[in-house]
Structure 1
């Protein structure tokens, strides 16, 4: 099977350099019309220039593809609305949205200003939500859409000095889970990429010999699968240096305590049982957890309650 995107329109944010550029070129090589969005800022979100986005458009056109550039700030709803309107006027649809734009303002939490915390969350989380919100009604009308959010190991597992970035990136999992549920009826599939790549944002964080293995081009094949017609949905795909893996959130079976033994002392004494991973499962929505707890409590009290079964 060869994955193609002929007739599809793809919007890639932060596509002037690094991962975004690689994703845009990969989509174009396989037939997509590509919107190259890039504000043209430095890694910490300063200054702006359209040169990078226009250069990628030139690359795509040189290979015989179709592309347009737009310099919207992803966190600016009016700018994003203008971008989406121009895409619809030019091509009449948006099939694929890859949310890649981001900035870094790293400091320990003690030294970080709330302005720097807020700015990173604004770009990563609100920027992603703003772009998804602008494309969502179009994809619903088409009854087709493929969306990729971009998280990070810093959000999934933590990284010293990145509380702002980690918080914003962890939020991608929650946004994906809800959009997956709300988009299923209209064949809108929503996935999350967790990349480790050699980019402007990581060049000072990763040793030079490791950077040589982490080219963005080693990650893009995973993204192209996540936005393909037969893509899965609700997947967190880790990617880097040609390695791919899934991150999943599991819940252990846990324990259920009666009213008399439901004390912090009992929880401390039985914490190893609570943490035992045997039989853990991947819940599909918030009510599955609620139903699980209610069923367990009902059984412990001898009640006949089969809610959710």
Structure 2
């Protein structure tokens, strides 16, 4: 993967193990200087972030470690400031830090709801926000956020996790819209790989392991990381999209809107019921690239419906 991000400085959160470690190693191999961020200590009490940074340096790459928590706005600012102070700039952020705490809706406590949303969604926004002014000034940036099939499609026992990850996709769309004029691209990746978090089959969720069987054991974090490298590359200008990746398969996940049915102002419920199939039909769907585009579709369809 040599050269795709040559000379770029990339911050990777949650990079002490699993997917984040794999992304950090792949980015370094592709020429980036990597700031490895993780707050969880290694089993021996040392910094997992420093272990990964040392591994990158041992392989001939460039990396530093920083152990602040991005859940805190100040912590995220400190992380980006470290990147800029130590390496001169920040070109890309891979927001990978996350936590999964299962609970069915009726058993969801405020504590585990807030913890998951704070880490997965707020912790993604804080680091993107901290890097934003630097990217605007240099006229370039790449933001790769970590969403999940739980957020895009739903999964039993994942109300907190799925909601936070759906929010991450919405955040990627917003960052893409606001970043377009500044050369900043933002995309989301929904990874499927065997990691300490995904491999835990306890709890109420239907795990990927039970669905895929032996195949899941072969789905490594390294299968996802080349996509992350590509999305960080200056050559990739795609923005505002989400991609499912795992086991060598990559697929775009998109949000579409049906042609719909135009029934006039304040249509009565009986007419809605009668035309429900047209409301839900997917043939001839639209794929808005932003809210303004969706409003343009509304205007076009409403005018067509009156003609």
Q: TM-score, normalised by structure 1?
A: 0.91
Residue 37 (structure 2) pairs with residue 32 (structure 1): no
Give the SS at the match of 1:244. strand
More off after superposition, 204-213 vs 266-275: 204-213
Would the aligned equivalents of 2:172 and 2:240 in 1 still touch at CA under 8 Å? yes
Would the aligned equivalents of 2:92 and 2:232 in 1 still touch at CA under 8 Å? yes
Which of 231, 239, 246 is matched with 2:245 structurally? 239
Which of 119, 122, 127 is matched with 1:123 structurally? 119
Partner of 2:144: 148
In 2, distance between residues paired with 1:48 and 1:237? 36
Residue 225 (structure 2) pairs with residue 220 (structure 1): yes
In 1, distance between residues paired with 2:292 and 2:46? 46
Which of 247, 252, 265 is matched with 2:270 structurally? 265
Gaps of 5+ in 1: 303-309
Partner of 1:253: 259
In 2, distance between residues paired with 1:6 and 1:290? 40
Would the aligned equivalents of 2:47 and 2:67 in 1 still touch at CA under 8 Å? no
Partner of 1:67: 63
Would the aligned equivalents of 1:3 and 1:225 in 2 still touch at CA under 8 Å? no
Give CA deviations for 1:77-132 in whole Å, capped at 9, x if unaligned. 11121122122111110001000000111010111101111110010100000000
Instruction: Report the count of equivalent residues.
Output: 297
Deviation at residue 292 of structure 1 after TM alignment: 2.6
Deviation at residue 50 of structure 1 after TM alignment: 4.9
* Equivalent residues in 2 for 1:1-309, closer than 5 Å: 3-40=3-40, 50-205=46-201, 206-207=209-210, 209-231=214-236, 232-259=238-265, 262-301=267-306
Partner of 1:305: none
Give the SS at the match of 1:189. strand
Give the SS at the match of 1:93. coil
In 2, distance between residues paired with 1:129 and 1:103? 15
Give CA deviations for 1:192-246 in whole Å, capped at 9, x if unaligned. 1010111111112324723321110111111111111111112211101111111
Deviation at residue 3 of structure 1 after TM alignment: 4.5
- Structure 1 runs (4+) deviating above 4 angstroms are 47-50
In 2, distance between residues paired with 1:188 and 1:291? 24
Would the aligned equivalents of 2:5 and 2:27 in 1 still touch at CA under 8 Å? yes
Indicate the RMSD between aligned Cα atoms, in angstroms: 2.0
Deviation at residue 30 of structure 1 after TM alignment: 1.4
Give CA deviations for 1:261-309 in whole Å, capped at 9, x if unaligned. x01211111111111211101111112222332343344445xxxxxxx
Would the aligned equivalents of 2:22 and 2:222 in 1 still touch at CA under 8 Å? yes
Partner of 1:306: none
Partner of 2:204: none
